[in-house]
Amino acid sequence: MSLSWPWALLTVLIIPLIFAIRWWALRRRRRAAVRVTSIALVRSALPGRTRWTRKIPAALFIAGLALLAVGAARPQASVPVPQTSATILLALDTSGSMCSTDVDPNRLTAAKKAATEFIESQRGGPRIGLVTFAGTAGLLVPPTDDTDSLTKALENLTVSRGTAIGQAMLASIDAIAEVDPSVAPTGANPPEGGEGYAGAAIVVLTDGANTQGVDPQIAAQEAALRRVRVFPIGFGTTNPAPMVCDNSQFDGRGFGGWGGGFGGRGGFDRGRNPRTIDEPALKQIAQTTGGSYHRAENADELQSALNALPGSFTVVRQKIDTAAIFAAGGAVLIIVALSLSLWWNRPRTPAR
């Protein structure tokens, strides 16, 4: 809990002032004491209460004043609040290694299915955009709440040569900047003094390592400067498996004119093993930007990783003013204290 006006807590000094006035009044009363000869007469004049019940109204009154003092300081509590205006950029790897069949029927098909189910699950929630990357990166669908256009775009993904993870992150930042004025595009200086994270995040789904383009760590620093978190997902296994894509998934132009399906021809990306995920680099991206890294070796794990992400960036902690709660509590205690005092000190009808 934090206080908007901490100086207002000085009003709590009224409590020791009340005690000081009471002490002074009791001292004056002792000086004006009247001597009586009958103790029974004094007892009959006193209200029928014990010593502790006489202190209850005073204690409640003091507690009520303390709560009012805290309320005057405008306390604020941090609570989790769903952020429906969030923006999510899905950056999907479409390099040739996504044709690996270690995930049935191949990595690309499994990734498309998981991404489609994820987008469907977010219907009516945050805006989602799609970026695909192989040798280069490009915005496939700008951030939108049109679920149908997003799922339709996923149906036509094809693989190409290369893996440009860093460039995909920069393309995602620019896509976010188009719809979120608080995020500066690449090439522009981000505003200083921002607190927390932006209401946008980038999810990078890849099965490999960066082979060309911008260094992913440089792109991660650009995202961090804009308070945009990146959540990398490493997809696939390290098990040897043929690489097979059907005609609809294969961009023959990206592989020197090969057509149709292909299999068992590793070495797309400059001799890199297409089944090796650069996990240290992906973990460093997450650490730099404040995101988290996830590993998925099959379709179910990929779906679980995607489903676990929205809670990280569509739920934010927001400060709410709780002054009214403290003020109401203080008022109730004071009213109860006065009511008890009046009730216990009411005139009593003498017994006949």
Q: What is the pLDDT of residue 166?
A: 97
* 74 and 157 belong to one structural domain: no
* 25 and 132 belong to one structural domain: no
CB 87 within 8 A of CB 199: yes
Q: What is the pLDDT of residue 199?
A: 83
Phi, psi of 293 (to 5 degrees): -95, 140
Sole residue written with tokens 């009213």 = 335
Asked if residue 67 has pLDDT above 90, the reply is no
Give me the DSSP letters along 188-246: SPPPSS--S--SEEEEEEESS---SSS-HHHHHHHHHHTT-EEEEEEES-SS---B---
The shares of helix, strand and coil residues in the chain, as percent rounded to the nearest 5, are 45, 20, 40
Percentage of the chain exceeding pLDDT 90: 41
Of the candidates 60, 65, 86, the one whose C-alpha atom is nearest the C-alpha of residue 9 is: 65
* 298 and 326 belong to one structural domain: no
Confirm whether pTM is higher than 0.75: no
* 335 and 306 belong to one structural domain: no
Whether residue 352 lies inside any domain: the answer is no
- Mean pLDDT, residues 2-25: 71
* 340 and 231 belong to one structural domain: no
Residue of 293 and 333 predicted with greater confidence: 293
Sole residue written with tokens 């981000």 = 190
Euclidean distance between CA atoms 182 and 73, whole angstroms: 31
Phi, psi of 256 (to 5 degrees): 70, 30
Number of domains in the chain: 2
Euclidean distance between CA atoms 295 and 278, whole angstroms: 11
Instruction: Tell me the pairing of strands 229-235 and 200-206.
Output: parallel
Q: What is the pLDDT of residue 86?
A: 82
329 pLDDT band, cuts 50/70/90, is confident
Distances (CA, A) of 166 to 1, 6, 137: 39, 46, 9
Domain encompassing residue 248: 84-313
* 30 and 121 belong to one structural domain: no
Q: How far is CA 62 from the centre of its chain?
A: 39
Residue of 2 and 315 predicted with greater confidence: 2
Whether residue 243 lies inside any domain: the answer is yes
Whether residue 104 lies inside any domain: the answer is yes
Of the candidates 272, 236, 243, 268, the one whose C-alpha atom is nearest the C-alpha of residue 101 is: 243
**CATH of residue 93:** 3.40.50.410
CB 128 within 8 A of CB 88: yes
* 74 and 216 belong to one structural domain: no
Per-range mean pLDDT, top range of 20-29, 75-84, 166-175, 249-258: 166-175
Of the candidates 175, 237, 239, 236, the one whose C-alpha atom is nearest the C-alpha of residue 203 is: 175
Measure the CA angle with vertex 308, ends 305 and 309; round to 5°: 90
> Helices (DSSP H) in 14-159: which residue ranges?
14-31, 39-45, 51-72, 107-121, 147-154
* 212 and 336 belong to one structural domain: no
* 105 and 18 belong to one structural domain: no
Q: What is the pLDDT of residue 45?
A: 54
* 128 and 274 belong to one structural domain: yes
* 282 and 171 belong to one structural domain: yes
Whether residue 120 lies inside any domain: the answer is yes
Q: What is the pLDDT of residue 204?
A: 97
Of the candidates 231, 230, 244, 197, the one whose C-alpha atom is nearest the C-alpha of residue 100 is: 244
Judged on CB neighbours under 10 Å (0-12, 13-18, 19+), 18 is middle
Q: Which long-range contacts does 257-262 make (Cβ < 8 Å, 24+ apart)?
A: 262/99
* 199 and 266 belong to one structural domain: yes
